[in-house]
Amino acid sequence: MMAGTLILEHLSAARGQRATGMIPVDLGSATVQIPVVIVNGARPGPRVGVTAGIHGAEYVSIAALRRVAMSLDPAAMTGSLVASLVSNPAAFAARSIYVDPLDGRNLNRSFPGDPAGGPTERLAAWLYANVIAPSDRFIDCHCGDMNEALVSFTGIEETGDPAVDRVTLAMAQAYGLDYLVYGPTPGSTTTAAAAAGIPAVLGEVGGQGLWPEADVALHAAGLRRALHAAGLIPDPVEGPRRATRVLRAEAWLRSDTEGFWHPSVGVGERVAAGQGVGEIQDAFGAVVRQVVAPLPGVVLFLVTSLAMNAGDPLLAIAD
């Protein structure tokens, strides 16, 4: 084997090469095939792990990561990329919202996972061991799920290590999305990475089961800029970008009852504390819950399906 060769399971890329392939991952009750791209730069440098499709119906992020991973020029790169293009293949195939259909668990609440656990915990453990933990920087590409609209944003958290936090913030600012939101999400990819001292950024663009070119182009350009900030690619990248506002306070509102969801605000709209943001009605139109904003801020994401289940998210407000 040549020095500097990048290896992941049966994939192997010498310096200056790209390799692609389906990697089988045994989840106990089923084996899934994850499409993986590894790109080994001509010169040694940081290893960057990137995931998309942690939620299987988030298509903008899946389309954007494939575009970027397949178009990077390894001869111009310093360091390496390991990209998991569809990280939850069973959820992708089932067009599943939020959860892995193999056991009904949310993969992005299951990290760092358990190799002896159920299917979702095993999948999290494989992704953590192969894509997250060996990386020097990590990016997780998401968008609103099939039933969610959102404004574009990056999510990061502070680790208390200034060197880590500096790289994390630089990557998130380079992404160039509408908002930058602080705060951990226990069990998520990025919180598991941050706990291991790895600069980690969540990127969110688009949603509702669509993948319009404007959204894919924004996410792909943002991801390339973040890879530049990570030290992987040499050129400042052209492409769509937004002026970023930093938000520190965030509230996720969930429904405590099933019913028909009628939001009265739009995604990106600014709301006041105490303002009504929607109501849940019963099957005949009677209001069973009024939903009120607990803090002032911007509607970051909004569930857009009429059907609402007890425990499901309604919207998030951040300021």
| Contacts with Zn ion, residue ranges (CB under 5 A) | 55, 58, 142
Give whichever of 119 and 203 is closer to Zn ion, judged by the CB atom: 203
Counting every residue written for the chain, the total comes to: 319
In this structure, the strands spanning 17-26 and 31-40 are antiparallel
Give whichever of 176 and 206 is closer to Zn ion, judged by the CB atom: 206
C-alpha count within 13 angstroms, C-beta hemisphere, residue 202: 27
Smallest gap from residue 207 Cβ to Zn ion (A): 9
Smallest gap from residue 55 Cβ to Zn ion (A): 4
Smallest gap from residue 233 Cβ to Zn ion (A): 25
Cβ burial, residue 272 (10 Å; 0-12/13-18/19+):
exposed
Buried b (16+ CB within 10 A) or exposed e, 29-47: eeebebbbbbbbbbeeebb
Smallest gap from residue 142 Cβ to Zn ion (A): 3
Q: What beta strand segments (E) does 43-199 contain?
A: 43-52, 78-84, 137-142, 148-150, 153-156, 179-182
45 alpha carbon, distance to own chain's centre: 24
Give whichever of 58 and 121 is closer to Zn ion, judged by the CB atom: 58
Smallest gap from residue 61 Cβ to Zn ion (A): 8
Give whichever of 55 and 225 is closer to Zn ion, judged by the CB atom: 55
| Identity at 275, one-letter amino acid code | Q
Smallest gap from residue 242 Cβ to Zn ion (A): 20
| Identity at 130, one-letter amino acid code | N
Q: Which residue's entry shows tokens 């195939």?
A: 93
Give whichever of 8 and 52 is closer to Zn ion, judged by the CB atom: 52
Give whichever of 56 and 199 is closer to Zn ion, judged by the CB atom: 56
